Amino acid sequence: MVGTPPNVAEDHLVDWFRWMITMRTFDQRAWNLQRQGKIGTYAPFSGQEAAQIGCMSALRADDWIASSYREWAGLAYFGVPLVQPLLSSAGHPDGGCMPESLNVLPIQVVIGAQLLHGVGLAWASKLQQQGRVAMTVFGDGATSQGDFHEALNLASVMKLPAIFVCQNNRWAISLPVERQMNVRSVAQRALAYDIDGFRVDGNDVLATAQVMRSVVDRVRQEQVPVLVELVTYRLGAHTTADDPTRYRDAGEQAAGAAADPLVRYAAYLTAQGLLDAAARARMQQEAQSAVDHAVAELERRGRVDAWTVFDQVYATRPAQLEEQRHELQQRVLAHRADGAGGGAR
């Protein structure tokens, strides 16, 4: 961090690092689970832990969050159980059921769509007058969607307590950010809507937490929207279905690894006398057991039959869907009887 560190209790500083290690461990395990066929497609977030945790650290427990599929480190920090992303990637119906106690929407895969949901939540929060704010988190690619501009416009016109957080990780699958937009920053787009815009080093958890805290306080008090761009880097692939070595060179990957937020933050905490090798080893062990626990919970929930995909769409299934469900069920069962085993997830 450059400048004055935020005025935060030492416990919090160490806790952020504990969460970063836990989520890095989780991310690597989830990748392996996909390779083992235990979950389906998964979008890794390694490299973005500081941006995500720093960002969520500013929220109140009853604030709203509408995020994308790559936000699990932040969501876990906010209270979403670690098994949730695993259920989600396994296609389990409970994967979309966020805990009732949290105001967190299910993850959004349609790029940019959560911005409009976030504006709706901010509007509701304003009408309810309970001091809640709505944070919407999205990628650099999402800023090219019409939804982004509609959301910022409406939030500005209606003066809504909305925080728009762009996780600029430099890539939208294989499209680099300089081909995504012809502006110098995402943050400068705030000007067009006459709202404040901030550009922050998202690989610095302290800087992120500090800016986010002042932004969230301001949005809550003044009931105005703000746009924040967290500049970070996706260290891994877009998803388990992607191979980034086909579109970015080794030099860039190495530079990304050198700016790893975990390495930076560990160095800071060590220099402050808040972290040593023994404490770090202990945290790593705790992270491992938290992740093991989540994986055991996934196994306990069991596999989900493919035809259940039809089950929760309508209260009463229309005849056409009933027919399709039946057909899929017969096919899968016949496939299994043939000795193919398993079952779809």
Ligand X SMILES: Cc1ncc(C[n+]2csc(CCOP(=O)(O)OP(=O)(O)O)c2C)c(N)n1
Q: Which two tokens stand for residue 90?
A: 């396994």
Query: Interacting stretch for ligand X, rule CB under 6 A, among 12-20, 98-106, 165-173, 290-298?
Result: 165-173
Composition of the chain by helix, strand, coil, percent to 5: 55, 10, 35
Q: Which element (helix H / strand E) includes 124?
A: helix 113-128
Burial 305-320 (b: 16+ CB within 10 A, else e): ebbeebeeeeeeeeee
- Residue from 21, 83, 142, 206 binding ligand X (CB under 6 A): 142
Whether residue 268 lies in the annotated active site:
no
- Residue from 21, 119, 172, 304 binding ligand X (CB under 6 A): 172
Q: Which is nearer to ligand X, 171 or 307 (CB)?
A: 171
Q: Which does 142 bind (CB under 5 to 8 A by kind): ligand X, Mg ion, none?
A: ligand X
Q: Provide, rounded to whole angstroms, the least separation between the CB of residue 169 and Mg ion.
A: 4
DSSP 8-class letter at 302: -
In sequence order, what are the residues at sequence separation of 6 or more whose Cβ sits closer than 8 angstroms to the Cβ of residue 259? 203, 233
Q: With contacts defined by CB under 6 A, how many residues of the chain interact with ligand X?
A: 15
- For 265, phi and psi rounded to 5 degrees? -70, -35
Using only C-alpha atoms, the chain has a radius of gyration, in whole angstroms, of: 21
Q: Provide, rounded to whole angstroms, the least separation between the CB of residue 157 and ligand X.
A: 24
Is there binding between residue 206 and ligand X (CB under 6 A)?
A: no
Q: Which does 263 bind (CB under 5 to 8 A by kind): Mg ion, ligand X, none?
A: none
Q: Which element (helix H / strand E) includes 22?
A: helix 10-35
Which residues are near Mg ion by CB under 5 A? 139-140, 169, 172
Q: Which of 247, 293, 326, 331 is catalytic?
A: 247
Query: Interacting stretch for ligand X, rule CB under 6 A, among 31-39, 51-59, 133-141, 187-195?
Result: 133-141
For residue 253, how many C-alpha atoms fall within 13 Å in the half-sphere facing its CB? Answer: 10
Is there binding between residue 173 and ligand X (CB under 6 A)?
A: yes
Inter-residue long-range contacts of 77-81, CB under 8 Å, 24+ positions, other chains counted? 77/19, 77/23, 77/52, 77/53, 78/102, 78/104, 80/104, 81/294, 81/297
Query: Interacting stretch for ligand X, rule CB under 6 A, among 167-175, 269-277, 293-301, 321-329?
Result: 167-175
Report the SS3 class of residue 114: helix
- Residue from 6, 141, 197, 236 binding ligand X (CB under 6 A): 141
**Per-position x/- string for 90-119, each x denoting binding to ligand X as judged by CB under 6 A, each - no binding:** -------------------xxx--------
Q: Which residues bind ligand X (CB under 6 A)?
A: 68, 70, 109-111, 139-142, 169, 171-173, 234, 238
Instruction: List, by residue number, the catalytic residues.
Output: 234, 238, 247
